[in-house]
Amino acid sequence: MKLRQLFLILLTPLGLSAANENLVEDIQAINTARITALVAGDLVRLSDIIDPACVYTHASGRVQTGTDYLATLRRGTVSYLAMAYEFPPLVRLLADDHAVVSGRIQLTAQGASGPKHDRILATTAVYRYSGDAWRLVSYQSTPAPAAPAYTLLSQASVIPDVCAWPKLTLLPDGTIIAAIYDQPAHGQLPGDTAIWASTDDGLIWEYRGNATQHVGHSARFNHALGLARNGDLLVAASGWNFISAQGGKTDQPLEALVSRSADAGRNWTTIAQFPLASEAGKALIPFGNIERGDDGLLRVAAYSFGRGIPGPREDPGYVVTSSDDGYTWEIESIIDQLAVNETDLLYAGNYRWLAAARNLDHLNGKGAHSIDLYISDDNAQTWRRESQPTLPDQHPGDLLKLTDGRILLTYGDRRGPDYGINATISTDSGLTWSPEFRLASGLSSRDSGYPSSVQLADGTIVTAYYALGSPDHDGYQMGVVRWLLD
């Protein structure tokens, strides 16, 4: 048995997790070294990294061994002028001595004769630990389409000192409404769902009122936002009771209440209570957009959650519906039973509904959640899991149907080291998704994301998000990026 294998077997579970983190760093380092050596033409370093028996498959379909590939580089048949990942690649540990690195690479190459050419490639590299080093044993690249082009108009921190977790909606007069958590803490301070508004396309924001009124040490920060049939604002909000003003959650979440405003968010009245959760010791927690279908019913997603319940953790996700414009609510259907955490609903038309659900997949370690995309073709009655459009550490999602019929999915990218807000586009009502692209960059912590978007009459898309640190503000904040799809 190899010393490295014996060392990993002897580790405690906590130590194994730490060891895995170290292994990932080792693999990231050797993969970066390979790319650096390719661009620099450093054949000595490449000979140390590429196994002679490596199966190297080019984008053209040509297959070489590692030895043949290195010989090709020595002859100067091809040279790599630039090579960089669009986003940090995904690293998956298959065992303590095998790993897969996958991602999209922007490549500029040039043959021995002829002009240089630019390509985008989807690449997969397999490394094996042999002796005392990681070596490349398989590589494959496939031509990939470009991500949708867009024009960035602005990115700015617009509301300082709030954790936010924003949800946006658009009033008939073009005013953008944001519902946010109003405290500079990750849900650990007593507070409320506050309403802010922008009348200048998302540049300047003003406070209008509170949709909730917390009691004692509670905080109503889990919220969903939307419009009633007559244009009134609706907020469904849950949250937590705390042992003290400094935090310490009790086991039971707050029961969700629904509030209504007839004056664009300035004054609010509590009009309804959410139904009780089906599971003992849990409560229904609303999230995302309150949507209205062609049948006139209001629908919102909610997941069932409670603390202190023996594991494994299961968050059933539901569709909660109102047939009387928000005054009463009932559970209509279940999206999925196990791992449908923070979920956003979208009505795509023709009785099709989409649900972007934060799953609880721990494939890549604790907290490495991604988004599952569910579809209903029978007006939200039954659901099927269609795809997983994001990678681990990319969540939760916000869905928006654009004026041209395409569907936008935005989400936080917590992979680092450059945290931000990413997006992808579907042109077929959620069946397939474009390559992802980056909307907001420079966020300084994985404690960030939760985007929400609206599209204005001129086509401008306004995407709000929260962050703990950005180039504009050192602390919790709501940021806004304004952009146009080209």
pLDDT at 13: 30
Which residues is 338 bridged to in the sheet?
none
Please state, in angstroms and rounded to a whole number, the distance separating the CA atoms of residues 376 and 354: 6
> pLDDT tens, 239-258?
999 888 777 888 789 999 99
pLDDT at 362 exceeding the cut of 70: no
Is 75 strand, coil or helix?
helix
List the domain boundaries for the chain: 3-143, 150-485
Round the CA-based radius of gyration of the chain to a whole number and report it: 25
* pLDDT band at 361; cut points 50, 70, 90: low
Residue 363 predicted with pLDDT over 70: no
Query: Strand, coil or helix: what is 367?
Result: coil
* pLDDT tens for each residue of 433-477: 999 999 999 999 999 999 999 999 999 999 999 999 999 999 999
Which residue carries 């995302």 as its tokens?
A: 288
In whole angstroms, what is the distance from residue 18 CA to residue 170 CA? 46
CA distance 48 to 139: 16
What is the pTM (predicted TM-score) of this model? 0.90
On whether the CB atoms of residues 461 and 484 are closer than 8 A, the answer is yes
Q: Report the pLDDT averaged over residues 375-392.
A: 96
The reported pLDDT for the residue numbered 431 is 97
The sheet that has 283-292: what strands, in order across it?
269-273, 247-261, 233-244, 219-227, 283-292, 298-305, 317-322, 330-336
Q: Write out the two tokens for 354.
A: 């989409």
Q: Quick one: average pLDDT of 193-203?
A: 98
Q: What is the mean pLDDT of residues 210-224?
A: 96
| CB-based burial, 302-316: b 16+ in 10 Å, e otherwise | bbbbbeeeeeeebbb
Band of pLDDT at residue 2, cut at 50, 70 and 90: very low
Average pLDDT over residues 51-69: 97
Tokens of 113: 């004769």
CATH T-level assignment (fold) for domain 150-485: Neuraminidase (2.120.10)
pLDDT tens digits, one per residue of 312-329: 778 899 999 999 999 999
Torsion region of 166: left, alpha or beta (phi above 0 gives left; psi -120 to 50 gives alpha): beta
pLDDT: is 409 or 4 the higher one? 409
> Which position has the token pair 């923070």?
342
Decide if pLDDT at 482 tops 70: yes
In the prediction, which pLDDT does 314 show?
A: 82
Q: What is the pLDDT of residue 365?
A: 47
Question: How does DSSP assign 184-218, residue by residue?
Answer: SSSS-S-B-EEEEEESSTTSS-EEEEES----TT-
CB contact at 8 A, 435 and 146: yes
**DSSP element (H, E) containing 254:** strand 247-261
Q: Is 282 left (phi over 0), alpha (psi -120 to 50) or beta?
A: beta
Using a pLDDT cut of 70, give the percent of the chain over it.
95
User: What is the model's pLDDT at position 18?
Assistant: 57
Q: What is the CATH number of domain 3-143?
A: 3.10.450.50
> What pLDDT shows up at residue 111?
87
Residues sharing a CB contact under 8 Å with residue 446, sequence separation 6 or more, in sequence order: 393, 414, 416, 419
User: What string of DSSP letters covers 56-71?
Assistant: EE-TTS-EEEHHHHHH
